[in-house]
Structure 1
Amino acid sequence: MMNETRDPPLSLSEFSFERRFDERGAGEWMQANWRQSFVFCGLYVMLVFGGRHFMRERPKLNLRKPLILWSLSLAVFSIVGAVRTGGYMSHMLSTSGFRASICNESFYSGPVSKFWAYAFVLSKAPELGDTAFIVLRKQRLIFLHWYHHVTVLMYSWYSYKDRVAGGGWFMTMNYCVHALMYSYYAVRAAGYRVPRPLAALITAAQIAQMAMGLTVAALVWRWMSDDTGTSGSDCRSHLENVVWGTLMYLSYLLLFMHFFYQAYVKGGKGGGVGNGAERKAVKVE
């Protein structure tokens, strides 16, 4: 009987740039440079609040075309990332089960996912540019927006260097939510009116993401100290990461729930993502 060579499933079929990606070198770079995230965040905060002071007595800028291009580029990046990581996550769930999808470290080194995991954490630095549009267009800057940008950048880089359990879920969920959110922002920036329930749906998806993030963090904490884990699915993390991740996701959950209540339950016509301040809702990983 002749041996048959089976093609890999579609979710594991790699493009050439994904195949050539050196995840070992990426990990070494992050180990050596993850503290640079503190520098980026410090500069970000100074530029944001310094920029607000600078714009106080100056007319707001329109920036509609740059905003469309910015939102559209991040929407395309997030959609592709969601498809690639979502496909790999589906493969993990169908072949290895739920626990392995959380605990197995292959998301950082597996086909397809290794490139998009690194692209995810690096993307948190340029995403800081979101706030420039708020500052230069003189829109209201809420605490949730800049707090999210600072904490998600630091936590993402801090977690990637150790390749902790749960990262695959965090990244996949974030890609999916960002695909919806940046697509919405691009449509709004182009001047099209979007039904208000859609804005509420996006915020509800963000809330669900935070709840699932807390669930994953709790399972990592439970399973990382479970010495009965089978080979290939034991959770490798450390208490400090679980604590910081839990506090981060809990704070996001509370802030998003408060935002949802103010914008869609208590608020009037002026509330919500779609009130003209396209970047009042935040993106979370």
Structure 2
Amino acid sequence: MDNSTKFQQQASVKWDFENPASFRPYPFEIIDFPAWKEFMALNWKYPFYASTIYILVIFSLQRYMKNRQPFSLRTLLACWNGVLGVFSILGFCRIFPEFWKILQSDGGFHRSICAREGLNMPMAYWSLLFGLSKYIELGDSLFIVLRKQPLILLQWYHHCTAMILAWVIIPYGEPLTRWLGVMNYGVHGIMYPYFALKSMKVYIPRNFSMIITSLQLTQMIVAVGLNIYSLYIIGTGGECAREPGSLVWVGVIYGSYMYLFADFMYKSYFCKKTKKQ
């Protein structure tokens, strides 16, 4: 038995479907989610390969562009951000109702994190697209490099690790992913339309960009808090549908996000020297 098969058996966890009439899927949302989870678990190396290629490409391209004029790409950038914005809004609208419903139930907060219940086909479909979309979002960096804008650590590190994290933890079938999906779709549903409008030179007050950064930082803080809550429940002998590998991945990656976004926010909006520059 090779290491990939061992990883698959450990990571692909069953979560039975519940498809009430209120969460009836559209025809295109009907997928073989267990098969997709097994595929992702078996091919867990894919996002690592993609990250390696991504880093080589963007930094090679950045070097290539060093002594060349930047491209404008405003129309293409507006379309790119607009499409990702619409996609994020649709994803949020399709998974938020189930998320809200379980929160409103008895013990909803705990159940939303620790109980494998409430999985329906729309939630499964948009969870899968959530993971696959992280590959598409790597294209954000190409616009930054081709337009010769600053490519900061937070930008490329976040893209790489978000793709890896989504691809690795989705097969675990954890209820926590509903939180991560709702928050990410929600923030991106605001962020990408904002970028689209900015690329079209639509005036938007600077304070709005601070609101988006605040939402991003809040997303990271909440994710870290949920991970700590899971550890507390497990540590006190309670039951929580979390896998050891996921606890480590989420804790390390979202912990690093929390630090990087806090640092970015401080330097962008509160550091007097940076604001002056």
User: What TM-score does the superposition give when structure 1 sets the normalisation length?
Assistant: 0.85
| 1:248 paired to 2:253 | yes
Aligned-residue offset at 1:104: 2.6
After TM superposition, the structure 1 = structure 2 runs for residues 33-44 of structure 1, keeping only pairs within 5 Å, are 33-44=43-54
Contact 1:62 1:137 in 2 (8 A): yes
- CA drift of 1:130 comes to 0.4
Q: Structure 2 unaligned segments of length 5 or more: list them.
A: 1-19
| 1:115-264 aligned within 5 A | 115-225=125-235, 227-229=237-239, 234-238=240-244, 240-264=245-269
Kept in 1, the 8 Å contact 2:172–2:246? The answer is no
For 1:163, give the aligned amino acid: G
Pick one of 48, 51, 56 that aligns with 1:46. Answer: 56
- The answer to whether structure 1 residue 82 and structure 2 residue 88 are counterparts is no
Question: Which stretch has the larger CA shift, 27-36 or 147-156?
Answer: 27-36
CA contact 1:34–1:161 (8 Å) conserved in 2: no
- Aligned 8 A contact 2:127 2:181 in 1: yes
Q: Which residue of 2 aligns with 1:32?
A: 42
Residue 104 of structure 1: aligned partner: 115
In 2, Cα distance between equivalents of 1:28 and 1:252: 28
Corresponding residue for residue 4 of structure 2: none
Q: 1:213 to 1:87 in 2, by over 3 A?
A: same
SS in 2 for 1:125: helix
| C-alpha distance in structure 2 between counterparts of 1:218 and 1:177, whole Å | 22
Q: What CA distance in whole angstroms lies between the structure 1 residues aligned with 2:97 and 2:162?
A: 24
1:14 maps to amino acid: P
Question: What one-letter code is carried by the residue in structure 2 that aligns with 1:80?
Answer: L
Code of the residue aligned with 1:242 in structure 2: it is L
Q: Does the 8 A contact of 1:224 with 1:237 survive in 2?
A: no
Q: Which consecutive residues of structure 1, in runs of 5 or more, have no partner in the other structure?
A: 1-6, 271-285
Q: Which residue of 2 aligns with 1:268?
A: 275
2:21 equivalent to 1:8:
yes
Length-normalised TM-score, structure 2: 0.87
Moved over 2 A (4+): 104-107, 222-229, 267-270
- 1:211 CA drift (Å): 0.7
Bigger helix share: 2
Say whether the 8 Å CA contact 2:51–2:160 is kept in structure 1. Answer: yes
Q: CA deviation at 1:148?
A: 0.4
Residue 194 of structure 1, CA deviation: 0.7
Change (3 A) 1:15 1:85: same
**Count, aligned residues:** 255
Give identity over the alignment, percent.
33
Residue aligned with 1:268, SS: helix
Q: What is the CA deviation profile of residues 174-228 of structure 1, one whole-angstrom value per residue up to 9, with x for unaligned ones?
A: 1101111101001101110111111100000111111100011112222345544
Query: Equivalent residue of 1:105, what SS?
Result: coil
